[in-house]
C-alpha cells in the first residue's frame, strides 16, 4: 500500500498541495495495514487505526485522511471499501472572534508608532503592518510573506496563501499612500531585502516575534483578555469581514453578491467560511433574525 500512498501524494502535490501531515498519517496507516497483511482498504481497519488518536478531533482527521485516500484508490480498483464519512460524529467548533472597535484599532496603530525600540524604522514597520491588516483583512501569514515586488499598480499580489492559491488584492487609495510612505522611510533607513516588512537587521519579520510585540501593544492600549484568552492578530481579519458584511447593501440578491465578493477578496475556498461571520456580532444576528422572520411569514426578501 505504501506505493499507492506515494503515487497519491505525488498527484496531489503536482497541483499545489504540501500534505506534510497527510504524508505522515498515510504512511502510518500503510504500516498499520501491512502489519495486518491487508492490501486493500477496509472500513473496520480504517476505524481501528483512526481510533488510536487521543481526541475526537484527531480521530476525525485521521479517518477523513483515509477516506480521501480510499476515494482516490477506488477510481481504479473498486475492491477498496468505501468509507462512510464522519464516522466519529465530529463537528468543528470555532473560537468566538474578538471584534475590535475603531478606537481600539487606532490605539493599536498609535501604540506601534510609540514602541520603545532603538531602531527608528521598527515602530513604523509594525504600524504599517497593522494598518495593512486592518485595510485588507489579509491573513498575517500572507502579510509577512509579502515582497516589495508584490506591490503592483493594481494592488497586492498575494502569493503565499493558506490554500496555495494566488490572488490580486485591490487597495484603497489611503492604503496605497500609507505603503508608499513606509517604503520611502524604509529606503532612507537603507533597509535591504526583498520582503516588505523587515526587522531592524533587515530580515523578514517572523510570526512569533510579531505575536509577542502585538501582545505588548494590546496591553498598552488597554485591551484585556476575555477569560484567559487574549484577542489575536487574526481577529483583525475577523473584524474586517464583519464590518464589510455590516456595510452590505440591502436586498437578498445584493447581499449574496456582496458575500461572494467578500469571500473572493479574503481568499476563502468555501463560502461557508464567509457566512460564518453573519453570527459574529449582535447587529448581524438581528439582521439574520429579521430576514428569517420575513421568510417564514412569506414576505419578499
Q: What is the pLDDT of residues 35-50, one digit of tens each?
A: 999 999 999 999 999 9
Strand pairing report for 151-152 and 167-169: unpaired
In a domain, residue 81? The reply is: no
Cβ-based neighbours of 228, under 8 Å, separated by 6 or more: none
In a domain, residue 93? The reply is: no
At residue 9, the pLDDT reads 92
Residue 212 CA to its chain's centroid (Å): 19
Indicate whether 55 and 138 sit together in one domain. Answer: no
Last residue of a domain, one of 217, 232, 247: 232
Last residue of a domain, one of 199, 217, 232: 232
In the three-class reduction of DSSP (H, G, I as helix; E, B as strand; rest coil), residue 204 is classed as strand
Percent of the chain with pLDDT over 70: 78
Q: How far apart are CA 40 and CA 74, in angstroms?
A: 10
Three cell numbers at 22? 497527510
Indicate whether 132 and 216 sit together in one domain. Answer: yes
* Among candidate residues 119, 179, 115, the one with its CA nearest the CA of residue 143: 179
Residue 260 above 80 pLDDT?
no
The domain in which residue 7 lies consists of: 2-74
pTM: 0.66
Indicate whether 217 and 119 sit together in one domain. Answer: yes
In the three-class reduction of DSSP (H, G, I as helix; E, B as strand; rest coil), residue 111 is classed as helix
Q: How many CB atoms lie within 10 A of CB 106?
A: 13
Report yes or no: 23 and 9 within 8 Å, Cβ to Cβ: yes
Report yes or no: 63 and 88 within 8 Å, Cβ to Cβ: yes
Three cell numbers at 101? 472597535
Indicate whether 239 and 184 sit together in one domain. Answer: no
Q: How many CB atoms lie within 10 A of CB 98?
A: 20
In a domain, residue 203? The reply is: yes
At residue 301, the pLDDT reads 44
Q: How far apart are CA 55 and CA 48, in angstroms?
A: 14
Query: Between residues 18 and 236, which one has the greater pLDDT?
Result: 236
Query: Between residues 138 and 116, which one has the greater pLDDT?
Result: 138
In the three-class reduction of DSSP (H, G, I as helix; E, B as strand; rest coil), residue 169 is classed as strand
Maximum CA extent, the chain = 67
Indicate whether 129 and 197 sit together in one domain. Answer: yes
Summary mean pLDDT of the chain? 83
* Among candidate residues 124, 144, 155, 128, the one with its CA nearest the CA of residue 194: 144
Indicate whether 130 and 244 sit together in one domain. Answer: no
- DSSP code, position 276: G
* Among candidate residues 180, 153, 156, the one with its CA nearest the CA of residue 267: 156
The residue assigned the cell 510612505 is 181
pLDDT category, 248, cuts 50, 70, 90? low
In a domain, residue 301? The reply is: no
Cβ-based neighbours of 131, under 8 Å, separated by 6 or more: 109, 175, 178
Residue 255 above 60 pLDDT?
no
Q: Which helix (H) or strand (E) holds 155?
A: strand 155-158
Percent of the chain with pLDDT over 90: 46
Indicate whether 64 and 157 sit together in one domain. Answer: no
Query: Per DSSP, what are the bridge partners of residue 167?
Result: 158
Last residue of a domain, one of 55, 74, 93: 74
* Among candidate residues 244, 278, 237, 275, the one with its CA nearest the CA of residue 105: 237
What total of structural domains would you count in the chain?
Answer: 3
Indicate whether 203 and 184 sit together in one domain. Answer: yes
C-alpha atoms less than 13 angstroms from C-alpha of 108 in its C-beta half-sphere: 26
Amino acid at each position: 500500500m505504501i506505493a499507492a500512498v506515494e503515487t497519491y501524494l505525488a498527484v496531489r502535490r503536482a497541483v499545489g498541495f504540501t500534505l506534510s501531515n497527510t504524508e505522515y498519517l498515510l504512511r502510518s496507516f500503510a504500516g498499520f495495514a501491512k502489519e495486518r497483511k491487508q492490501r486493500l482498504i477496509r472500513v473496520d481497519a480504517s476505524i481501528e487505526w483512526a481510533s488510536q488518536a487521543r481526541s475526537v478531533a484527531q480521530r476525525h482527521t485521521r479517518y477523513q485522511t483515509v477516506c480521501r485516500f480510499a476515494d482516490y484508490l477506488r477510481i481504479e480498483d473498486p475492491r477498496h471499501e468505501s468509507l462512510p464519512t464522519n464516522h466519529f460524529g465530529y463537528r468543528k467548533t470555532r473560537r468566538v472572534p474578538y471584534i475590535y472597535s475603531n478606537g481600539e484599532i487606532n490605539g493599536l496603530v498609535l501604540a506601534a508608532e510609540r514602541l520603545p525600540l532603538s531602531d527608528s524604522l521598527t515602530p513604523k514597520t509594525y504600524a504599517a503592518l497593522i494598518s495593512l491588516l486592518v485595510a485588507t483583512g489579509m491573513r498575517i501569514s500572507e502579510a509577512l510573506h509579502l515582497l516589495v515586488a508584490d506591490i503592483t499598480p493594481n494592488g497586492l499580489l498575494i502569493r503565499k496563501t493558506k490554500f496555495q492559491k494566488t490572488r490580486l488584492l485591490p487597495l484603497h487609495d489611503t492604503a496605497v499612500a500609507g505603503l508608499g510612505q513606509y517604503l520611502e522611510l524604509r529606503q532612507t533607513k537603507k533597509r535591504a531585502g526583498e520582503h516588505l516588512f523587515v526587522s531592524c537587521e533587515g530580515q523578514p519579520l517572523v510570526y512569533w516575534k510579531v505575536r509577542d510585540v502585538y501582545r505588548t501593544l494590546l496591553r498598552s492600549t488597554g485591551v484585556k483578555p476575555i477569560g484567559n484568552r487574549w484577542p489575536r492578530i487574526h481577529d483583525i481579519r475577523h473584524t474586517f469581514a464583519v464590518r464589510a458584511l455590516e456595510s452590505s447593501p440591502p436586498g437578498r440578491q445584493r447581499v449574496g453578491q456582496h458575500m461572494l465578493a467578500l469571500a473572493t477578496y479574503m481568499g476563502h475556498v468555501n463560502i461557508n467560511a464567509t457566512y460564518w461571520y453573519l453570527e459574529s456580532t449582535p447587529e448581524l444576528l438581528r439582521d439574520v433574525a429579521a430576514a428569517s422572520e420575513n421568510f417564514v411569514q412569506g414576505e419578499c426578501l
